[in-house]
Amino acid sequence: MRSFNHSIEIHKLLKTREYKNLGLVPTMGSLHKGHVKLIEKCSMECDESIVSIFVNPTQFNDKIDLANYPQSIKKDIELIRKINPSAIIYNPMESDLFTSPAKAENFDLDGIDKIIEGKYRKGHFQGVATIVKILFEKFSPNLAFFGEKDYQQVLVVRKLIKKCNLDVKIKTISTVREKSGLAMSSRNFLLKKDTRYNAKIIYESLCIAKKMIKTHDFDKIKDFINNLFLLDKKFHLEYFYIVESTSLKEVTSFNPDVKIRAFICARFQKTRLIDNIPLN
């Protein structure tokens, strides 16, 4: 089955099929094993699955980053077909999603879009919320599937659903990692093999923080992580935060009754890699 460029074609197809649950896996393509797990989960839990492939310009604050974003549509379609031959692939033209030019909406997300990753990528989560809302309204999925590698994005989508009274339930999968521990990401394809291996420092730093969390002052943990990157010199540490898991507000001391997570971003030249893990 071919991929569809227009949502109206998908609506016509869905009218010919009987189903109880419609699942959506929104992607920007350049699929990896993390996406595979999302599509597999969607296919197991839903009678019908839509996988969207669209590099959303409204979530990029850097035009060079947008231009360099890896794309491999033919390989992506072949991979989706292997996972679920009956999956509906939506590879839209920009005009099927936006009136020209593509522009992000302005949502009140209670500030969760302006911290951590949002602090370094102005408007990024407004763009994410915009495209997710468009997809939800176009297809009215019962379930939508996201990875916890983009944990802040998951919280943004949950906030969007609540604010806009959208009738869709979010399902997540744990971060899928390479053998080195590096979180699977489409941006990993931009790195050479040795650099990709060296990027394991990102996950290793998170694991160190988790070991230190109960016995060390949080400022000392942050200093230790910062020094790791200063010594490594291959990757530049852009940020490292320890925050409460729901509000993403920074915390300064350990409380076993409060769920916390560590968030990190490191950069090799123009390539930014993000990750996060729960600390308790």
Averages of pLDDT over runs of 10 residues in the chain (280 residues) are 90 94 97 98 98 97 89 96 97 94 95 97 97 98 98 98 98 98 96 96 98 96 97 96 98 96 96 97
Strand runs labelled E in 28-162: 48-53, 88-90, 143-147
CB 51 within 8 A of CB 90: yes
The pTM is what?
A: 0.95
| pLDDT at residue 100, as a whole number | 81
| pLDDT at residue 1, as a whole number | 62
Least Cα distance to 156 among 187, 127, 189, 178 occurs for 127
Residue-wise burial string across 245-278, b where 16 or more C-beta atoms lie within 10 A, e elsewhere: beebeebeebeeeeebbbbbbbebeebbbbbbbe
Query: What's the rounded Cα separation, in Å, for the pair 37 and 146?
Result: 10
| pLDDT at residue 95, as a whole number | 96
CB 170 within 8 A of CB 256: no
| pLDDT at residue 231, as a whole number | 96
Give the 3-state DSSP-derived string for 23-55, with helices as H, strands as E and coil as C.
EEEEECCCCCHHHHHHHHHHHHHCCEEEEEECC
Q: Which residues touch 139 (CB under 8 Å, ≥6 apart)?
A: 7, 10, 22, 24, 50
Q: What domains are there in the chain, each with its CATH number?
A: 7-173 (3.40.50.620), 186-278 (3.30.1300.10)
DSSP H or E run through 246: none
CB 242 within 8 A of CB 223: no
Supply the residues annotated as catalytic. 35
Least Cα distance to 13 among 54, 49, 55 occurs for 49
CB 120 within 8 A of CB 265: yes
